[in-house]
Amino acid sequence: MDTFNAMVLSKENNEPKLEVKQLTQNDLPEGEVTIRVAYSSVNYKDGAVAVQQQFVESYPLIPGIDLAGTVIDSSDDRYQAGDEVIVTSYQLGTGHSGGFSEVARVPAEWVVPLPEGLSLREAMVLGTAGFTAALSVQRLEDNDLEPGQGPVLVAGATGGVGSLAVDMLAKRGYEVVASTGKANEEAYLKAIGAKEIVHRDTIVDTEETPLLAEKWAGAVDPVGGETLQYIFKTLKFGGSVATSGLAGGVGVSTTVIPAIARGINWLGINSVDYPMNKRLNVWERLSDELKPTNLDEELVNEISLEELPQVLEDILEGKVRGRTIVKL
Ligand SMILES: NC(=O)c1ccc[n+]([C@@H]2O[C@H](COP(=O)([O-])OP(=O)(O)OC[C@H]3O[C@@H](n4cnc5c(N)ncnc54)[C@H](OP(=O)(O)O)[C@@H]3O)[C@@H](O)[C@H]2O)c1
């Protein structure tokens, strides 16, 4: 491809500009592996980069923290033209041009071979959101969560991390309670595996007491803030919460009482810096026993590069349901 299309974020006279441009490979950053991108996806962080210019290390930048495609050219022996690969995390789409482009060039250290059992499209329905949901489930189970211990709460359940966590947990036999602010998405959440739906307003911390009645054997929380405060107070004895996000707030006020009276575990999830040797294992699991059952139409909205700017705004406002993938 001599020329190709990409969504470029630039700054002129201190004014950010996001537009589809025609580029050549000379416009791409250095890296050993050049990839014809088949799909990218839209994550909350992409909205923060493209709309709010958070995390951006230099301009111009092609945003897009996820990509999946076919290697065109590689100067690293581990990859050959024709190999199907996934790239997420590290500085992709923040400090290094990313997936909102028909062609990308990345360091070989960031590349994950597409596992058997996943298509390129499915890999991007998962993307960073699916990887993060899988890490959350893995950390909860590493800390003794098992089906049959009681309900598992998923906050922000119609979002990317939330939807994929609901699906994965339900497939593994957990009783999933999904919390959402979208009153009209009950049917969707039930279709992807939730047993019960609660409104997000009912799981925020409004009480002064350090503990409330024990409810959850575990929780997946991409929301944070007062939702996380409420989860600390309502986890059952020995229960764990996997914290990945801040869609509902950064500040968390708590006491030590849930930790010492109920022995709860606060598990932090960092998908970006997760080590490559363990990362490969998580992708293998995602292609097999952690693979969600609704990676086709139920969870997915497919868009073009031209439709991206609106979705990037919408995701920051919590308006997006499930996963949006970008076909390139
Ligand atoms: N730690 C990591 O490695 C990692 C990786 C991926 C994502 N994240 C973070 O995880 C979060 C979710 O990412 P995502 O890509 O899944 O985003 P998303 O698709 O936008 O999902 C977030 C969901 O949170 C809920 N929400 C939004 N605003 C809220 C508010 N003010 N109060 C309460 N709930 C609210 C909404 O669900 P409902 O309408 O259903 O309530 C929304 O759909 C983000 O903060 C992101 O930065 C972190």
Domain 4-114+296-327 matches domain 128-268 at the CATH topology level: no
Residue 183: predicted pLDDT: 87
* pLDDT tens-digit series, residues 63-99: 999 999 999 999 999 999 999 999 999 999 999 999 9
Residue 296: predicted pLDDT: 83
Q: Is the CB of 54 under 6 A from ligand 1?
A: no
Kindly give the distance from the C-alpha atom of residue 67 to the centroid of ligand 1, in angstroms, as a whole number. Answer: 20
> In CATH, what class is 4-114+296-327?
alpha beta
* pLDDT tens-digit series, residues 178-192: 999 998 999 999 999
Residue 26: predicted pLDDT: 97
Q: Confidence class of residue 171 from pLDDT cuts 50, 70 and 90?
A: very high
Kindly give the distance from the C-alpha atom of residue 316 to the centroid of ligand 1, in angstroms, as a whole number. Answer: 8
Q: Residue 70: in which H helix or E strand, if any?
A: strand 66-74
| Average pLDDT of the residues in 125-139 | 98
Residue 297: predicted pLDDT: 81
Task: Quote the tokens at residue 283.
Answer: 């992708």
Residue 206 has pLDDT above 90, yes or no: no
Kindly give the distance from the C-alpha atom of residue 26 to the centroid of ligand 1, in angstroms, as a whole number. Answer: 35
Measured in Å, how far apart are the chain's first and last C-alpha atoms? 13
Determine the Cα–Cα distance for residues 169 and 292; give it in Å rounded to an integer: 9
**Domains of the chain: which residue ranges?**
4-114+296-327, 128-268
> Cβ contacts of residue 275 below 8 Å, gap of 6+?
none
| Average pLDDT of the residues in 268-275 | 97
| Average pLDDT of the residues in 16-36 | 97
> In CATH, what class is 128-268?
alpha beta
Q: What single-letter DSSP state applies at residue 75? A: S
pTM value? Answer: 0.97
Q: Is the CB of 236 under 6 A from ligand 1?
A: no
